[in-house]
């Protein structure tokens, strides 16, 4: 079976992760990669960086943070931990982002910040959003955790740009994040706060590296299929087990897990990966070959966006559970929950996306024959579903 996700790291980098002890030079190397006009700060995760950033802002309790409505579920938890109120701003399915008009309409006298998540590998056109933030006096933070394409860049007008290199991300360093700040003084204060955090327990990094070496081995198609069968035979849900294995943090008690310094070995691996500019060119080409074979009647959110690295390949079938099972029966581990993305309340387009989405498995093990078979099967499964009655999103939600 072709796996839903494969760790984007080679065996040599995993061996480096196990062998290195790291040194102070990694932080300097990463700092030197910041684009002009930005100051880089490293953190254990994007949520760690956001937590420290909000702590330094020290906004009054009850102030509001606008958040694009498809987001990692615990990002809102971090916002609430600082006494702030997350307010969802619905997205458009064609652009995978809120429109400037929707953001403007959500602003109240208590709004202080807009947090935009770039989804699925796409880079959103942010000029209109940044202009709304500038005009209304809001800070603009962009979460680029899913959108790394081999470059550390920041959108014009962004106060902070956050990149993740967690286990399932592009160019993974098995963890770690880079935050790019427009204000060097704010960057200095965030860095000082993060430097005061404790390091993970002794042995944490080595266990993490060994765990992900095992997960990488199990992503080989023959072993992956056997692993799914073994999990099911043990009476456990393969979807839940695989999803939990891919998470960077265990559920519950989140903040103590976030408030730690990244180990020097993690930063050394991160510096190594960034220096090599691990652009996802093969994955992007693979996604285009598969998705461009799908006719326009199959909704592919973000299909026409100009800048897209296709971290995930979402489609919206009529009956997502049956659709995903049909692909799995054919040897393609399509999934409904490859990530911790959720729809925040009060956002119908976001809710529709999360309720209906299936992610196609763009495994590096796919041959071009397999890619064509996956595309053809996707079309056949979608058209079979079309013969049943169902409710879809309004047509205008997917219009450009």
Domains in the chain: boundaries: 21-195, 281-398
pLDDT average per 10 residues of sequence, the chain (400 residues):
91 96 91 97 98 98 98 94 98 97 98 98 96 98 96 97 96 97 98 96 93 92 87 83 70 86 96 88 94 95 93 95 94 84 96 96 95 97 71 42
From residue 376, how far is each of 26, 332, 381, 385 by CA, in Å?
A: 46, 12, 9, 14
How many Cα atoms are found within 13 Å in the side-chain-facing hemisphere of 34? Answer: 23
Query: 21-195: which CATH number, 3.30.365.10, 3.40.50.150, 3.40.640.10, 3.30.460.10?
Result: 3.40.640.10
Helix, strand, or coil here: 103? helix
Q: Which residue has the tokens 């103590």?
A: 256
Q: What is the model's pLDDT at position 23?
A: 86
Tokens of 161: 């740009």
Find, among 386, 327, 321, the residue nearest to 362 by Cα. 327
* Beta-bridge partners for 164: 177
Would 21-195 and 281-398 be classified into the same CATH topology? no
CATH 3.90.1150.10 fits 281-398, yes or no: yes
pLDDT at residue number 390: 41
Contact 242, 215 (CB under 8 A): no
What distance in Å separates the CA atoms of residue 321 and residue 306, rounded to the nearest whole number? 30
């Amino acid at each position: 079976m072709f796996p839903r996700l494969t760790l984007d790291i080679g065996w040599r980098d995993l061996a480096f992760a196990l062998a290195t002890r790291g040194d102070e030079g990694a932080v300097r190397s990463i700092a030197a990669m910041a684009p002009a006009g930005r100051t880089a700060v490293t953190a254990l995760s994007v949520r760690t960086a956001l937590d420290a950033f909000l702590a330094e802002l020290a906004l009054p309790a009850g102030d509001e943070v606008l958040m694009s409505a498809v987001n990692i579920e615990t990002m809102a938890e971090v916002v609430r931990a600082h006494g702030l109120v997350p307010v969802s701003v619905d997205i458009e399915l064609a652009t995978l982002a809120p429109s400037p008009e929707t953001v403007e309409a959500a602003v109240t006298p208590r709004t202080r910040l807009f947090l935009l998540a770039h989804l699925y590998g796409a880079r959103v056109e942010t000029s209109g959003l940044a202009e709304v933030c500038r005009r209304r006096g809001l800070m603009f933070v962009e979460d680029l955790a899913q959108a790394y394409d081999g470059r550390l860049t920041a959108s014009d007008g962004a106060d902070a740009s956050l990149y993740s290199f967690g286990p399932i991300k592009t160019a993974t360093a098995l963890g770690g994040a880079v935050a790019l700040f427009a204000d060097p003084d704010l960057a200095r204060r965030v860095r000082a706060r993060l430097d005061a955090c404790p390091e993970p327990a002794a042995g944490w990094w080595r266990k993490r590296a060994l765990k992900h070496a095992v997960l990488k081995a199990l992503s080989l198609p023959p072993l992956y299929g056997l692993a799914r069968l073994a999990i099911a035979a043990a009476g456990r849900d393969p979807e839940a087990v695989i999803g939990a294995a891919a998470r960077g943090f265990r559920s519950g008690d989140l903040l103590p897990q976030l408030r730690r310094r990244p180990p020097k070995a993690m930063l050394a691996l991160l510096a190594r990966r960034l220096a090599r500019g691990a652009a996802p060119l093969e994955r992007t080409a693979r996604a285009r070959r598969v998705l461009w074979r799908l006719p326009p009647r199959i909704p592919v959110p973000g299909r026409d966006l100009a800048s897209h690295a296709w971290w995930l390949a979402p489609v919206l079938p009529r009956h997502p559970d049956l659709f995903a099972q049909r692909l799995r029966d054919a040897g393609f581990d399509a999934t409904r929950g490859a990530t911790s993305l959720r729809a925040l309340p009060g956002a119908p387009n976001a809710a529709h996306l999360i309720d209906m989405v299936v992610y196609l498995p763009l495994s590096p093990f796919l041959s071009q024959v397999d890619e064509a078979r996956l595309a053809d099967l996707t079309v056949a499964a979608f058209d079979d579903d079309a013969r049943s009655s169902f409710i879809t999103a309004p047509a205008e939600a997917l219009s450009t």
